[in-house]
Each structure stands twice: as structure tokens, then as C-alpha cells.
Structure 1
């Protein structure tokens, strides 16, 4: 029987065995790719430890002690499949199944410190890398690319809690991000205690700790503004089962397109390795990866602390809604997001929240029949971040074009649920928000592109729609996470009559999501962690 990672704590009574190995999905069985990249941790209790190495030799020893704790894809997905099957049989979450997972990501500073001579050479900045390349993004770090991310003014790195340089100090630097995820608080505490003990013994200092938990009760699965989160995740070829009746989609997930694994895992299909570098196929249309071969089976991690002003968000809805009814104001908020609070998409339910998520059908839609944005506004958050088959450029296969920008997101809320009536600590003054976690193979062409070219771009996704009056004006910024000089978004309502006029509603909005820290890091393969620990 295969041994799980030392970091796993499993309680698994009467759980069905995982499926027989399917060779058509080799990534499902990977013991080299870390968990949470493809196989989600999916835990209610999570803590992110941002750590600093003080001694290279001791840091390598620490990596060697940590490596057995790091969870891999196979063991995490084994558990997830057993858990899902038990839940299907019982009709509810099985209380007798629990696990604790550990993940690790390393910044470029860490790799330069503990890497061998080959790694150190590969991480020297030649000074002529294209700014739109992922290696430039990784070598420079998020703080030096704040202009691309729209992190200016109150979001400037100078105000961040982590990820920014502090002049005259050296204790701000982050080398490792350790994620600990558990079903039960006591398991989380025990695992954190063990990791902190290892840190103390190897002179690894703690720079920042970010605790996070899913919201309680009926708010579970929702973010702090009240909307169901994480509804639209990409399927991954060679990891998820394909749907026999719907080519190119994930089994039992209508509308969830299977994306090439190379969009998330370095060196996976269709990547090739040439002259020691991980390459995209010729004609891809994006900047070449050119990541060192030793990054194979790794994934770039983006960690962001995003503060949400819940009171401000809903006060804005009240202001913009004016004398409309409560139901109409709720629809206005849904039009900013593109989904109702239940997670139901406006594409299926443009006028009324069904107050229940269709789950299986919540991703089975696109925007080809809604070019004007009557149902889902063109500036709505989910349309900005995942335009599906609704790109302005109308490429031959626009679904594939959009798939090249996908991220695997593993975010989780931090801070208490906003509920001032329940007492001190739950009001507007308490910090709350989202720990944004994403994995991709290209920081520049995926994460940064989404932020700069889509979310913050007033002219995306469409500028002119044939037959739509006034559509030459920009659609506006993403009203949830976007930042632009205009801070305006435009909604079109479907005309009451076929020959009626389209009167756009221009909304002047404010920002209620603020960046308080960002780190770029490599989630290394288990093999690379062992290489770093060996120091040879």
C-alpha cells in the first residue's frame, strides 16, 4: 500500500477505495506535482506562513525535513474522490473523514539562496527579458510590477503587509510560503506547531501569518460580499475525466472546458523541452515561456491579500440603486458580478435570483447570444475574467483563446463574516477579505494579463457591437476588482420593444477591494525540493 505524505492526517472510515489507475490521465496519479495545484485541498481551515531563510545551509536542512510533509497530487485526489463518493452515498459530508495537507512555494530569492550553481545561473536577470515574459515577472516580483496590476495609490506596495521592500531592513523578504489546510482546527494547530518547531531549529523566521477560514453556516462557499465563489474552475486534460457525450468538457460538469495541462503545470502537454528550456508550441501567439527545465512539474503561485469593504460595497449599491426596490438593487449587484448571490448565472436567470444554484449547469453558458450584454453586462466581473465565447476579436476558436488565460484559483476568505448586529468584531472596522491564491504556468500571460488587459481595461471585452447605439464608448472597468482612471461601467437593458432604443446606464463606481500584499512564487515539484535540500 502506498504511504501518504508525512503531513497528512487522515481519518477515513469505510471510505470507498479510489478508482483503478487510468493511464489516459497520468497527472491524476502524479506523486511529483504538489497537491492544491490540480487536486484541490478544499479545506475550511487554512493558514499561510510567509517565511524567511537566514542561513542557506540550515534552509536546505529545513527543506529536507519539510519535504516528506508536502502533499502530492495523487494522495490529495485519492482523498477527494473517496470523500465525494461517501458524500454521494450519505447525502451529506461524511463527518468521519478528515485530512490535513501541506503545500510549499518558493520565491526567486529563496531559489537563488539555496539553489545549486545551475539554478543560480538560470535565475540571473540578463536585463533584456521582454517585460511580458513569465520569467521577467518571476525574477522581478509583484511589487516591481504594481503598475501592470493596477496597484497604485492606496494599493501601492508601500502600504502592503507583505511582498514589498522596506528600505534599510532585511527582515521583510519572503523566501517560502507554506500552506497548511485542515478540516479540523485542532489538526491545523498541531501541524502548524510542528512546522514552527522545525523553523525554530533551522533559523527560519516568520515574516507574516495569514489565517483563513470558510464563512460559517449558510455563508459557506461565499465570499464576504455575499456571492458564491469558486463556481467556475477550468477542467484539466490528463487530470479530470472527459465527458463522453460532450467532447472537450469535464465529466458531469456541463460547460466546463478541459484545458491543456501546460496552462497550469510547467512541462506538461503541449510543452516541450528544448536546450534545457520549457517551451510552448510555435505559433501559440504568446511570449515564449523559456523556463528552466528544473521547473518541470512546478506551477507559479500568486498569493494576494485582498481587503473587502463590505459595508462600502453595499452602500454603493444603495446609492446607485436610488429609489429602486430591494429586489432591483439586488439585481444591480448581480449585474456587477455576473451571477446572483446563489451562484446562478445571469446568463440563465437575467431577472430573478432562483435562490438555488443549479451546480451542474452553472457553467453551461456563453455570451455569443448576448453581445450587447443585456443579460450579463459586458463589464460584469465574470465576463471580464472569463469571456468564454464572447471575445471582441472573434478568433476562429475563441473558446481556446479564452482558455489560454485561465487560472486555477484556490482562494479562501479571511476575517469574520460582516454582521454588525452580532456584536463587536463583526462590524465595518474589522478587516476581512479574500486570500487570493492562483496557480498558472505563466505569470505574465495569465495572471497579469487578466488583471491589466481585461479587468482594468475599459475597452474589454467589446468596444463596438453592430446595431447597438452608443456602443463605441468603452464598457468600463471590472466593477468588483478593477482599477482604471474612469472607474465607470456601462450596462445596457434589453429594450421593452423590438424597435426601442438602447439607453446605456453609466455607473460611476468606487473601489471596495484593496490589495494589501502580493507574492509570486514557484510551487516546486517534490523532486526539485529534494534537489534543493541536497544542495548539490
Structure 2
């Protein structure tokens, strides 16, 4: 089915992604509705659209291809805008329209802590203030290729806000790609690899399957991520290999003006890098395998991004898995045609990729023949790192930490876009990540991002050749330090909200 996506009306970070090395997140509070509406009317023309971002990316690729380098290519600075439910209330949205929004969005992330597993050290009472507070009304997302240009743009908007004294900056968080390991999160693994493709937007690039972007990347209907478009059908089509390609009903949520908008989940996740490294080293030594392979068993990929499932010709034999990261000596494994071109159906027992490994917990693919249903829980992730990279030689001295009270404060600013917070983000957290009995009873929780009231949980590690299953005791390496649910309206809706 062919349908047109209104790329001129959808905010750019949703479908295209900013993909900038430097980003900042400005959280605002409104105390006067009239001023807030005037401010919104003032800045709406600057909100970047999908059309603008896509045109920039096409020009960037063309310039880079001709020159053979990124040096001297085009640069840009972007801004997007989202609101909490209390922010929409502060903009004087009618009570009838406010009531029509879904429960998760109305409640906010703090109130949904038990549903998504934010307990113990990750409980809202331990979050950095004012994250999770009803005083957070809006989020400005800034992104740029240049830290200097980003600062200039932020200062420009700070100056604009001086003309609106009733609008307060409650919190400002900087994110940046790691200069020492570009594209890698703080544990050292390549991040943001497996993203769903979008029908009628992502170009099919697999000559063997027109229903995929790059090989292994299924094209999903736009309504899974943006309101007002066809959505996925959870039931499989017996005549089709892969998720059901037929269009479901158009996604809808809240007032009629939410069309072309998307729900944004923001989470500030602190990573305990020293503890993770020590655990990997200790466990690898105990099991008699390399640190590279041990880390890959936990995550589901080697640090380079090379998939554990299809890392080399012998990957079907768990005994032959490479001890050293194969992506370092075989760069072709990291090519678009290889890096996501695998499934888990041929490894149902988890001997190659443990069923509790991070990438399998968050995206089980064709596990159990449920691929069509699995694809109804996908999200578009737009995360970026915060804080300084961990350097053991200067441990205890990090002058550029994200929070001076926590000199080793580093981690991931997790952002995801979806059309249904409960069916997508919350389902993944509750039914997959934190569920010790998914996909099979006793499989354990996600060893990277799961939370457990006991503070420690078990992860079975199947072995080959009839050897006994190892059970790993894993402590928390990731802690939630704040977050919120937002709605990111269309350009047209921003005009409506501005009156």
C-alpha cells in the first residue's frame, strides 16, 4: 500500500533523526498562558521538519561521496519541541481534549515507575530534580554538528526567553557523541544500530526483499511512530515471510490535532562503567572465555557492532564463536548488508545469543514465530551519550562530568518515538526487559537495563556440547536518574496551540 507521509508537517527528529554529535535538552516551565502562547508563536517557524532534515542528509551524502571525506561538507543546527500533559494544560488546552489523551501520557513517567521497573535506586525519589516533576511543561531539543554553533543557538533562545519572564528554564542537559569512541555508548558498544525502517519513507535497499530497507531491516507502517497513518497488523500473514505487510487501521490518540505528531519518551540513564568492566573481566576469566566474547554474550553483539548471531561462517556452531571481536579484523561484518541481517529463530535455545541478552530482550525478532506481533512494539530510538568517557588512569577526577555532585556521572540520554507509549515503550520494559520468564520461563532479565527490587538478578548462559548452563549473578549497571513522557506535535498543531 502506498500513502504519502506529510514530511512538511512532522518534526524532523521523529522520522529522520537529528544524527548530530552535539545536542542539548532544555526543560521549561510555563507560569502564564498568554506569554507561553506568544513564545510558541514566536519560535514555531524555527522548528525543523522531516523535509528539511532529509534534504540536508541527501546533500551531505552527495557532498561526502564526491569529496570522499566529511571534511568541508555541509553543517546544520536544528531545534524540535515537545510538551508534557501538564504543559498542554498550561497552554490552556480544553479539559475535554486533555482527558482524551492516553492514561500513561496523562500520568507521566514518575507515576508509571512501577509499571516500567523504576524501583530501588532507580525510583523517582532518587531522580535528579526537577525531572519527573509536574513543573516540567516543555522540552526544547537542540542539535548541531558544531559545539560552538550549538552554544550560539542555545544562547539565542535563552535571549528570546528573556522577553518572556514567566517561562523558566528548569533544567538543561548536554549530550555529545564520545570523541574517543564515536558512535559507541559508555560501556563501549556500538549504539543505535538496529532501527526499524518506515514504509513509504525508508528506501528499500535489499534486492532480495522489497519489504526491507537494509537487509534485516523490516519496513513498518508509519502509524507505528506517527499518528494518523496505517499501523502494523499483529497477526502473521501465512503467505508472507516476515511481519505482516498489510496495513492496519490508522493510528490515533487524543484530540484530532495530534495527527502527524508522536509521543516522545525521555530517560536519563546513568551507567556504572567500572562495575560493568570488572564484571565482564571477572566472569570471562571464570568461564575461560575472552572479554570480547563475554561482553558479546551479555549484549548480543560484539563491541564493534558485529552481530554474535552471524559473526562468521561458523556462527551456527556456538563452539566456534570468535574469542576476539571479528568486526575489527573483518570490517565487512559492519556493512549495512550484514550488520542487521540475522534472526533468532534458528537459535531458539539461545546457545549462540542468550535469550536474556540485551538486544534479544529489547527486540526478539522472529523468536517463537511471533515476528508480526513483535513489530507492533518497535520504537524509533534517538539517544545520545552524556558525561565524560571513563578513563581508569584518572579515576576520581572528571572535571567535565554531567553533574558536579557525581563526578562519574555518565550514561545515555534515551529518547524514543512511538504512537502508543503503553503498547511500545512500556510493553518492552515490562513484558520483555524486566520479565525473567521472557521469552521462556527462567531466561532472566535484561542484563543491561533491567531493574530488580532485590538489586541483583540471574541470567542463564547456555553453553555448547552438553556442558551445564552457567547462571550469572548480575548487579545493576544502569540506573534511571530522571525521565518524562512528552507529546511532539506537528507544525500545524503548534500553530493551533499558539492560538
After superposition, the C-alpha distances for 1:207-226 in whole angstroms (9 at most, x for unaligned) are 11110100004x00000000
Name the structure 2 match of 1:215.
Answer: 178
For residues 105-158 of structure 1, what are the alpha-carbon distances to aligned partners after superposition, in whole Å with 9 as ceiling and x for unaligned? 1110111121443xx312137xxxxxxxx7010011110010011111111111
Number of residue pairs the alignment of both structures matches: 462
Cα distance in structure 2, aligned partners of 1:249 and 1:36: 24
Q: Structure 2: which 5+ runs fail to align?
A: 233-245, 316-320
The answer to whether residue 482 in structure 2 is matched with residue 517 in structure 1 is yes
CA distance in 2: counterparts of 1:299 and 1:450, whole angstroms: 18
Residue aligned with 2:18, SS: coil
Partner of 2:418: 440
Listed as ranges, the matches of 1:54-453 within 5 Å are 54-117=31-94, 120-124=95-99, 135-162=102-129, 173-202=135-164, 203-217=166-180, 219-243=181-205, 245-251=207-213, 253-270=214-231, 290-323=253-286, 328-349=290-311, 351-352=321-322, 353-354=325-326, 355=328, 356=331, 357-360=333-336, 361-391=338-368, 394=369, 398-421=370-393, 424-425=397-398, 429-453=407-431
Contact 1:67 1:530 in 2 (8 A): yes
| Secondary structure of residue in 2 paired with 1:457 | coil
Where does residue 458 of structure 2 map in the other structure? 488
CA contact (8 A) 1:45 1:214 kept: yes
Residue number in structure 2 paired with 1:456: 434
- Which deviations, in whole Å up to 9, do the C-alpha atoms of 1:230-257 show, x marking residues without a partner? 0101000121112462335444x11100
| TM-score, normalising length: structure 2 | 0.87
Cα distance in 1, alignment partners of residues 375 and 304 from structure 2: 25
Per-residue CA deviations over 1:72-95 (Å, capped at 9, x if unaligned) read 000001111111222233332243
TM-score, scaled to structure 1: 0.82
Q: Is the 8 A contact 1:337 1:380 kept in 2?
A: yes
For residues 129 and 497 of structure 2, the distance between their equivalents in structure 1, rounded to whole angstroms, comes to: 25
Pairwise CA distance, 1:164: 5.3
Any stretches of 5+ residues in structure 1 without a counterpart? 1-22, 126-133, 167-171, 272-282, 464-473, 496-500
SS in 1 for 2:15: coil
CA change 1:163–1:295 in 2 (3 A) is farther
CA separation in 2, counterparts of 1:494 and 1:316?
22
Q: Say what the alpha-carbon RMSD is for the aligned residues.
A: 2.4
Following TM superposition, by how much is the alpha carbon of 1:270 offset from its aligned partner in structure 2, in angstroms? 3.9
SS at match of 1:509: strand
Deviates more, 1:340-349 or 1:83-92: 83-92
For 1:30, the equivalent position in structure 2 comes to 7
